[in-house]
Structure 1
Amino acid sequence: MTTIPATLSTTTDHRLPATIRKAGWIAWALFLAAFAILEGVNHGTGSWLALVAGLIAPDLTFFAAIGAKDPVRQGQLPRQAVPFYNAAHRTWIPLTLAVAYALASLQLPALFTFLLAWLLHIAIDRAAGYGLRTADGFIRG
């Protein structure tokens, strides 16, 4: 019978250090901001409006908590809003849609700008320390 040393039985955190993750999110946000602004310059008013809408839209999920009766503490989202908030703040959703747009033969630059702005919103949130939420509405650690 073999025994496992205590050092091997603990779980290891394989994530990058927080400063490197934050730097990555900042770099990604700067790239997305430049790309979205370029789209606005190249395509005009519709793309500028889509940029603003894409920056705001993910946080409209807070309205899912209208009428919530549960008391919340500072920094906590009402439980009713959490699934909507988490869905709107997952990077893979707008990224997948942006890749699909790029591969399709669509000519809707405002849609692409909206998707870039949505990604930008998520990147800004992550760089600022706001991530996905737990079922109780607090930021995940």
Structure 2
Amino acid sequence: MLRLEGLAVLAAAVAAYQYLGASWGAFAMLFLLPDLSFLGYLAGPRVGAAAYNAAHSYIGPVALLTSGLVGERPAVLAFGLIWAAHIGLDRALGYGLKYGSEFGATHLGRIGRTDPW
């Protein structure tokens, strides 16, 4: 159910982006930007999980969407939609928010290989 929820967010964000008429080139360039948070893992799993979760929580995109709508700022709205779409795709693929113990432990279950081979 949580993966379907992510797919719904992805579809809604892409549809809204299309309706907004923003640049698809910008969409392509910015879509993977939240994944720079992986660099936090260079400082260890707890810092990495915190950085990843900050970039992969819906709090940031919703704040941007609200600001973009209320302030009538289409560029802010577009960035919020791109960010939400990224998170939606991650959730649809099973990549959830991380626990501080290790990268593969997420709120959606374990990711990655479980066998030693």
Normalised TM-score (structure 1):
0.64
Matches of residues 78-117 of structure 1 in structure 2 within 5 Å?
A: 78-106=45-73, 109-117=74-82
The one-character-per-residue Cα deviations of 1:55-109 (angstroms, maximum 9, x if unpaired) are 111101112234x5x6xxxxxxx33311110000111221122112101133xx3
More helix by share: 2
In the comparison of the two structures, how many residue pairs are matched? Answer: 106
Q: Is contact 1:98-1:112 (8 Å) kept? A: yes
Partner of 1:22: 3
State the superposition RMSD in angstroms. 2.1
Structure 2 contact 56–87 (Cα < 8 Å) conserved: yes
- Contact persistence 1:54–1:115 (CA under 8 A): no
Deviation at 1:51, TM superposition (A): 1.4
In structure 1, distance between residues paired with 2:25 and 2:62:
20
Larger Rg: 1
Segments of 4+ moved more than 2 angstroms: 20-25, 47-50
Mind listing any 5+ residue stretches in structure 1 that lack a counterpart?
A: 1-19, 71-77
Mapped contact 1:62–1:85 kept (Cα < 8 A): yes
**Could you list the runs of 5+ residues in structure 2 that have no partner in the other structure?**
110-117
Contact 2:67–2:77 (CA under 8 A) maintained in structure 1: no
State the identity as a percent: 32
Task: Please show how residues 39-58 of structure 1 align to structure 2 within 5 Å.
Answer: 39=20, 42-43=21-22, 47-58=23-34
Q: Is the 8 A contact 1:22 1:127 kept in 2?
A: yes
